[in-house]
Amino acid sequence: MQSRVVIVGGGTAGWMTASYLRATFGDRISVTLVESSGVATIGVGEATFSTIRHFFEYLGLDEREWMPECHATYKLGIRFENWRRPGHHFYHPFERLRVVDGFPLSEWWLHQRPSERFDQDVFVIASLCDAMRSPRHQSGRLFEQDFVENGDQPVYRTTLAEQDTQFPYAYHFDASLLAGFLAKYAKQRGAVHVVDDVVDVVLDERGWISHIVTRDFGEIEGDLFVDCTGFRGLLINQALAEPFVSYQDTLPNDRAVALRVPVDMAKTGIRPCTTASAMDAGWIWTIPLYGRIGTGYVYAGDYCTPEEAESTLRKFVGPAADELEANHIRMRIGRSRRSWVHNCVAVGLSSGFVEPLESTGIFFIQHAIEQLVKHFPAESWDERQRDSYNQRMARCMDGVREFLVLHYRGAARADNAYWRDAKTRTLPDGLAERLEQWQTRLPDTESIFPYFHGFEPYSYTSMLLGLGGIPLRPPPALGLLDGTAAAKEFQAIGDQARDLVNRLPSQYSYFAHLHDLP
Ligand code: FAD
């Protein structure tokens, strides 16, 4: 039996893995998590995908329980600022496109152009973000009348692959508070926590990990080792020498500088979205939590020095940044060639990372853990199981890379060397051909990256229409069809959005109320 699991690393990846494995297998496996008190976690990673909901549901955790403890807020999508031109913004929301007479509303939009704001014309959520609304009424009821919630009974134990609806929001949360919350959860369910440095990883004669050596607690043996040591890849890359496949030729941003900025939310309100503001050598994220903002400049070291980046970020934030300590981070962009080697599985940054645009780090962790459970080696090791796992993880990360490259290639902005170079840089295999296709038919399931990577055609469409750098034409057939139903749908979306903006509470008042509850 492969029943002793040893996790090295106590960041988001380590504790998500420990809690999920205990929630899944209970006492049928043992879980020991070793983390160093001297090596800090990355300390960022606070915006998520809408599918993260399945993770919390799987653990049986209610929003009203964990959100206040983790200073969490709702995220209805991403607001992109200045990617087309200064002062321009658009949203990539968690909302699928409606379909009218067999054509997605985005294609009808290209044909009819009801206004200059495609996002407001085709998505309700764009208006909710502009008006800083909560997706839930004060009673807790979700705004989406169509979305059928299962009464008061949460739907536990759904996984990513089973997602058949687009849930309208994700979360922002404080990464260290969440790690602490999950640590408590996992330990209450029997996970063993060892705070110590791993000083050696010992291999047996086959080259598999036989045990790790810690400074004070000595040797820890296990059957399956999970590497959650972040960019170091202590087990997978260092001990097992698995090569790293870099994405840097297609995605050049390799550094970040971050700040945690306390904010009086009663005055500023809380935007229900992450903001990604294009800058001279990358972009700045703004993640509103309850009581502070997480912000950081992601940039390419070839175009900007760390000092310039920090000063740009401080200027962007304003006086609230004075006296705050900046966290400079070097990012390893790409993935381990295989995430699972022998008896070691890398989860989190050790497995791979593609810069935080579109907030995919935690999504990769969730996908990895779910796949680990599906491929878990109960009786014996089977190379085919590992191959299947590795193929899925590699494809998922490669697909996300392609989606992110589209952001830079598709942005109309080309006002300096950084943004001009983005238009001529190498493209991942297949993307050039897809870009050609999308100019006459917007992305659909047939024409996007063909393997699961978390993004649907509507996401690609949102980006192409918002970024504005690639010429797009409506299908000529629309000129031969009656457009009345589509025009009515645009009208209905506008009416629905105005009504919701009037009735929903602001995100600030929703959470102020929740935090005030006894
Ligand atoms: P880490 O947080 O680096 O944790 C590593 C752990 O390993 C630590 O506990 C450390 O003590 C331990 N360790 C290391 N060496 C040893 C040793 N020798 N012995 C014992 N323990 C050891 N993801 C998102 O989903 N959304 C975002 O908005 C987002 N933004 C990001 C912004 C930036 C700039 C970066 C770099 C990443 C971002 N991510 C984001 C990714 C996200 O931060 C990570 O996926 C997530 O935090 C998981 O990190 P980790 O647990 O793999 O590694």
Pick the residue whose CA is nearest to atom 15 on ligand 1. 229
Pick the residue whose CA is nearest to atom 6 on ligand 1. 9
- Give, in order, the Cα–Cα distances in Å from 166 to each of 52, 77, 361, 363, 508: 12, 12, 19, 15, 24
Indicate if ligand 1 lies below 6 Å from the C-beta of 228: yes
- Give, in order, the Cα–Cα distances in Å from 397 to each of 77, 251, 455: 20, 13, 11
Ligand 1 atom closest to residue 363's alpha carbon, by position in its atom list: 25
Euclidean distance between CA atoms 138 and 304, whole angstroms:
45
Sign (positive or negative) of CA dihedral 363, 455, 80, 246: positive
Query: Which of 33, 41, 293, 328 for a ligand 1 pocket mutation test, highest count of atoms within 8 Å of Cβ?
Result: 41
**CB neighbour list of residue 138: distance below 8 Å, 6 or more residues apart:** 505, 509, 510, 513
User: In this structure, what are the phi and psi dihedrals at residue 8, rounded to the nearest 5 degrees?
Assistant: -105, 120
Three-class DSSP category at 411: strand
Ligand 1 atom closest to residue 349's alpha carbon, by position in its atom list: 52
Indicate if ligand 1 lies below 6 Å from the C-beta of 59: no
Indicate if ligand 1 lies below 6 Å from the C-beta of 39: yes
- In the numeric block, the tokens 């797009």 are attached to 472
- HEC profile of 194-233: EECCEEEEEECCCCCEEEEEECCCEEEECCEEEECCHHHC
Burial annotation 117-144 (CB, 10 A radius, 16+ → b, else e): bbbbbbbbbbbbbbbbbbbbeeeeeebb
> Edge to edge, what strands does the sheet with 282-288 contain?
89-93, 77-81, 274-279, 282-288, 292-299, 255-262, 327-330
Three-class DSSP category at 93: strand
Which ipTM score applies to this complex? 0.99
The first and second tokens of residue 235, run together, are: 């087990």
The first and second tokens of residue 138, run together, are: 């004060």
Ligand 1 atom closest to residue 199's alpha carbon, by position in its atom list: 18
Indicate if ligand 1 lies below 6 Å from the C-beta of 230: yes
In tens digits, the chain (518 residues) has pLDDT values of 669 999 999 999 999 999 999 999 999 999 999 999 999 999 898 999 999 999 999 999 999 999 999 999 999 999 999 999 999 999 999 999 999 999 999 999 999 999 999 999 999 999 999 999 999 999 888 887 533 444 444 343 545 555 567 889 999 999 999 999 999 999 999 999 999 999 999 999 999 999 999 999 999 999 999 999 999 999 999 999 999 999 999 999 999 999 999 999 999 999 999 999 999 999 999 999 999 999 999 999 999 999 999 999 999 999 999 999 999 999 999 999 999 999 999 999 999 999 999 999 999 999 999 999 999 998 889 999 999 999 999 999 999 999 999 999 999 999 999 999 999 999 999 999 999 999 999 999 999 999 999 999 999 999 999 999 999 999 999 999 999 999 999 999 999 999 999 999 999 999 999 888 76
CB 214 within 8 Å of CB 220: yes
Report CA 46 to chain centroid distance, whole Å.
9
Largest CA distance in the chain: 76
Ligand 1 atom closest to residue 231's alpha carbon, by position in its atom list: 3
Closest CA to 403 of 351, 462, 352: 462
How far does residue 12's CA lie from ligand 1's centre (Å)?
6
Report CA 433 to chain centroid distance, whole Å.
26
- According to the model, what pLDDT value does residue 153 have? 44
Indicate if ligand 1 lies below 6 Å from the C-beta of 45: yes
DSSP state, residue 152: T
CB 428 within 8 Å of CB 398: yes
- According to the model, what pLDDT value does residue 380 have? 87
How far does residue 329's CA lie from ligand 1's centre (Å)?
11
The first and second tokens of residue 127, run together, are: 């208006």
Indicate if ligand 1 lies below 6 Å from the C-beta of 296: yes
- According to the model, what pLDDT value does residue 164 have? 66
Helix (H) or strand (E) segment spanning residue 261: strand 255-262
- According to the model, what pLDDT value does residue 144 have? 75
Pairing between strand 4-8 and 224-227? parallel
Indicate if ligand 1 lies below 6 Å from the C-beta of 253: no
Ligand 1 atom closest to residue 365's alpha carbon, by position in its atom list: 45
- According to the model, what pLDDT value does residue 515 have? 86
- According to the model, what pLDDT value does residue 454 have? 95
Pick the residue whose CA is nearest to atom 38 on ligand 1. 45
Indicate if ligand 1 lies below 6 Å from the C-beta of 289: no
CB 8 within 8 Å of CB 226: yes
Ligand 1 atom closest to residue 10's alpha carbon, by position in its atom list: 9
How far does residue 300's CA lie from ligand 1's centre (Å)?
20
Please give the model's pTM, rounded to 2 decimal places: 0.96
- According to the model, what pLDDT value does residue 2 have? 63
Three-class DSSP category at 9: coil
The first and second tokens of residue 516, run together, are: 């005030």
Closest CA to 228 of 350, 335, 393, 343: 350
Q: Annotated catalytic, 423? A: no
Indicate if ligand 1 lies below 6 Å from the C-beta of 42: yes
Euclidean distance between CA atoms 31 and 488, whole angstroms:
56
How many residues are present in the chain? 518
CB 468 within 8 Å of CB 412: yes
Query: Which of 19, 228, 333, 396 for a ligand 1 pocket mutation test, highest count of atoms within 8 Å of Cβ?
Result: 228
Q: Which of 75, 267, 315, 423 is catalytic?
A: 75
Indicate if ligand 1 lies below 6 Å from the C-beta of 252: no
Indicate if ligand 1 lies below 6 Å from the C-beta of 46: yes
How far does residue 430's CA lie from ligand 1's centre (Å)?
31
